[in-house]
Amino acid sequence: MRAVVQHRYGPPSVLESSEVARPSPGRGELLVRVGAASVHPGDYFVMTGEPYLVRSAFGLRRPRHGIPGRDLAGVVAAVGEEVTAFRPGDEVFGWSATGALAEYACVPADHLVSVPADVSIVHAAAVPTSAMTALQAMRDIANVRPGQTVLVTGASGGVGSFAVQIAKAFGAEVTGVCSTRNVDVVRSLGADHFVDYTKTDFTRAEQRYDVILDNVEAHTLAAVRRALTPTGTLIPNSGHGGRWLGPVGRVVRARVRSGFTRQRLTPFTSFSKRRDLLALADLLATGQVAPVIDRTYPLDDAADALRYVGAGHTRGKVVITV
């Protein structure tokens, strides 16, 4: 089968398109014929091995897994022992530990759910990691409720575009922060208001918000706190930072400062959960959430896709078709 292979950490040029053996599903696994796989900043960090902290999970000197990629959608080709929920021919989407950038991938059955009717494979592949991050931030961390005011920075990006829609689905009044060229995208997501950061600094405006999901972190914590209500919640969410520890320093500062104010400063790490994927499938099925697809690339151009994601200006999601 055709697959994207990585033998060392580095820039997108380390990715190679190669012929490799097709895997076989183990107990509790499905063999999925991948139709599409999405990529996000986390995939870029794993590819480069920076911040170096990621290497503790993916291999200290070189990638432990030769085929990158996590989020996918496709058709079940075969089922392993003890799998009863799916059968060959079912359309599924979800996440794998690795190996999504290939024609076939073995995935634990409990990492997958059925693709809703009228949702394409490309759109389904765009959902798992980014949408689960947005869902957990809005529902579990911020506990967004009807009537609250929510501000999302990077509102046109992968996590941001889902967060705007999910906050609206929860009944919030949502403001999206974006650049001039992305105003129409943010408006199409259902945002009630938008802030063009090239013209306005939201941290210096008079408006205060109950919840701020900061996907960009272009301002200091102190500056963003000025835009919070006295008991508001700030969720810093960015993988950027130093080459060694990435965002850990900012996380520690947020934790410390949170102990000295009624405001909640709550950085978090999202965890993939099947129940959350099922919740997202329901939101997709009802039309309350719809992925924004920026660009699609064929499998052989995966390096170009990661290069584009690494530049940090995507509108919605980048998907690789297989």
Reported as a single tens digit per residue, the pLDDT across 181-213 is: 999 999 999 999 999 999 999 999 999 999 999
Reported as a single tens digit per residue, the pLDDT across 62-92 is: 888 889 999 999 999 999 999 999 999 999 9
pLDDT bin (cut points 50, 70, 90) of residue 244 is very low
In this prediction the pTM is 0.91
pLDDT value of position 73: 98
Q: Is the pLDDT of residue 254 over 80?
A: no
Class of domain 129-265: alpha beta
Query: Would you say the CATH fold of 129-265 matches that of 2-127+291-321?
Result: no
Q: What is the mean pLDDT of the chain?
A: 91
pLDDT value of position 257: 54
Q: Is the pLDDT of residue 322 over 90?
A: yes
Residue-range domain boundaries for the chain: 2-127+291-321, 129-265
Q: Pick the range with the lowest mean pLDDT from 53-62, 249-258, 268-277.
A: 249-258
Q: Is the pLDDT of residue 250 over 90?
A: no
Q: Selecting from 3.40.50.1460, 3.90.180.10, 3.90.1570.10, 3.40.50.1000, what CATH number does the domain 2-127+291-321 have?
A: 3.90.180.10
pLDDT bin (cut points 50, 70, 90) of residue 252 is low
Q: Pick the range with the lowest mean pLDDT from 66-75, 156-165, 268-277.
A: 268-277
Q: Is the pLDDT of residue 271 over 80?
A: yes
Strand-pairing partners, residue 223, are: none
